[in-house]
Structure 1
Amino acid sequence: MLSHVHVGIADLPEAFAFYASVLTELGLALKFRDDAAGWAAWHRPGAARPLFLIGRPFDGEPAMPGNGQMIAILAPSRGAVDRAFAAAIAAGGTSEGLPGLRPHYHAHYYGAYFRDRDGNKLCVCCHDDPAAAPRD
């Protein structure tokens, strides 16, 4: 459904360190990093799209998070949610909701919420029934 998602950042090295630690825990691989252009992208190994990109805004204006905007990244397991959240906090992110079940969404929704160092809100979630999924 999606081709790519782009998250505005102010400082590529700082944002790259944050996202590299989080996205690695979700099984995503770096597709490219271009320091001159100020952007980087990750994808699922073996899949060309969708891409998760970070970069400076194209118009040259400061990056700003939007009110009510959030990107939710699918995790392969509940353990990956836990590890990605821990990586986000260790890399300077701030918690917006600890990992846990959110049964008001559906019975198996397990998610965590955090903001990156630029204030962008992200969710990492797993929708799988743990009884039917391999353990990690």
Structure 2
Amino acid sequence: MLSHVFVGVSDFGRAWAFYQPLMQSLGHPLRFHEPEVPWAGWHSASGERPLFVICKPFDGAAHEVGNGQMTAFMAPTRAAVDMAHQWAVDQGCASEGAPGLRAHYHPHYYGTYFRDPDGNKLAVVCHEPR
């Protein structure tokens, strides 16, 4: 269904330092990193799409956080969800919901929510049974 998700950032170096270890820990391979543009993208562990891309806004205007927008990343295990949340909080990011089971979505939905350094809302989710 999705080709790519594009998230604007205000400071590419800071965003790269945040996203590269996060994506690596979740098993999402780096597809490209071009700091001179600046942009970087990772693809799904299962294939070349969808892509997740970070970049300064192309129009040159300041980055703005969207209200009601969120990007959710797949995690292979519940432990990976826990580690991603702790790592983000350790980086000074705001928690939007500690890791836990959220059975109102479905019986095995285990997720967490936090903001990246630019305030973009992210989720990390495992859909597998314990």
- Indicate the TM-score class for this superposition, using the shorter chain for normalisation: over 0.9
For residue 39 of structure 2, what is the amino acid of its counterpart?
W
Question: 1:77: which partner in 2?
Answer: 77
Question: 1:123: which partner in 2?
Answer: 123
* Deviation, structure 1 residue 92: 2.7
Q: Take 2:104 and 2:25, find their aligned partners in 1: how far apart are those partners?
A: 26
- Three-state SS of the structure 2 residue aligned to 1:80 is helix
Which stretch of structure 1 is more off in the superposition, 43-52 or 89-98? 43-52
Question: 1:38: which partner in 2?
Answer: 38
Q: Identity across aligned pairs (percent)?
A: 54
* Deviation, structure 1 residue 84: 1.3
For residue 37 of structure 1, what is the amino acid of its counterpart?
V
Structure 1 length-normalised TM: 0.90
Question: 2:49: which partner in 1?
Answer: 49
* Deviation, structure 1 residue 48: 1.4
Q: Take 2:68 and 2:35, find their aligned partners in 1: how far apart are those partners?
A: 29
Ranges in structure 1 where 5+ consecutive residues have no aligned partner: 131-136
Which stretch of structure 1 is more off in the superposition, 101-110 or 82-91? 82-91
Rate the CA distance shift 1:45–1:106 in 2: closer, same or farther, 3 A: closer
Aligned length: 130
* Deviation, structure 1 residue 91: 2.3
Which stretch of structure 1 is more off in the superposition, 46-55 or 105-114? 46-55
Ranges in structure 2 where 5+ consecutive residues have no aligned partner: none
Structure 2 length-normalised TM: 0.94
For residue 87 of structure 1, what is the amino acid of its counterpart?
W
Q: Alignment RMSD, CA only?
A: 1.2
Q: Take 1:101 and 1:56, find their aligned partners in 2: how far apart are those partners?
A: 34
Question: 1:61: which partner in 2?
Answer: 61
- Three-state SS of the structure 2 residue aligned to 1:79 is helix
Query: Structure 1: which 4+ aligned runs deviate by more than 4 Å?
Result: none
